[in-house]
């Protein structure tokens, strides 16, 4: 089966600019996650979707980050305006049946550098 697809792979922007990331989960996976992974740390959950609804966005900095999952398939994560501390890898993951007993499957991530 095709894996989780993410684009772009790399992005370099200046602070205060905006950026958007795209994710296409594994076909049939109802649950989609966006994580932020700072160098040397484990992933930190930003937002979790179940189909096209938000399950948890408690750790999403809503003053600058937004995410949507229209039609319950693809998802986009946006940062506007970006800050230096947003430099990280943004990982998208998906799982079936709300992740019960199944691992989350990850995309290759988008490496974001803020200048």
Partner 1 sequence: ELKVEQNPLFLSMQEGKNYTIYCNYSTTSDRLYWYRQDPGKSLESLFVLLSNGAVKQEGRLMASLDTKARLSTLHITAAVHDLSATYFCAVNTGDSNYQLIWGAGTKLIIKP
Interface with partner 1 (CB under 8 A):
4, 31, 40-45, 48, 55-56, 91, 93, 95, 98-109, 111
- Please give the C-alpha separations between residue 31 and each of 34, 56, 65, in angstroms, as whole numbers: 10, 11, 19
CB of 28 to partner 1, least distance (A): 17
Q: Is 29 exposed, middle or buried (0-12, 13-18, 19+ CB in 10 A)?
A: buried
Q: Which is nearer to partner 1, 70 or 100 (CB)?
A: 100
- The answer to whether 48 and 101 are in contact (CB under 8 A) is no
Q: Which is nearer to partner 1, 46 or 79 (CB)?
A: 46
CB of 17 to partner 1, least distance (A): 24
Could you give the 3-state DSSP secondary structure of residue 107? coil
CB of 34 to partner 1, least distance (A): 12
Q: Which is nearer to partner 1, 30 or 73 (CB)?
A: 30
Q: Which is nearer to partner 1, 9 or 16 (CB)?
A: 9
CB of 80 to partner 1, least distance (A): 25
DSSP codes, 24-47:
E--TT--EEEEEEE-TTS--EEEE
For residue 79, what are the β-bridge partners? 19, 65
């Amino acid at each position: 089966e095709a894996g989780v697809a993410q684009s772009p792979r790399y992005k370099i922007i200046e602070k205060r600019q905006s950026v958007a990331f795209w994710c296409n989960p594994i076909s049939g996976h109802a649950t989609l996650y966006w994580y932020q992974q700072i160098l040397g740390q484990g992933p930190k959950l930003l937002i979790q979707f179940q189909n096209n609804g938000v399950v948890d966005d408690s750790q999403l900095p809503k003053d600058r980050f937004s995410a949507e999952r229209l039609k319950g398939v693809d998802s986009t994560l946006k940062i506007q305006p970006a800050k230096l501390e947003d430099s990280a890898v943004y990982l998208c993951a998906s799982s079936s049946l709300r992740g019960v007993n199944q691992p989350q499957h990850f995309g290759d991530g988008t490496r974001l550098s803020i200048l």
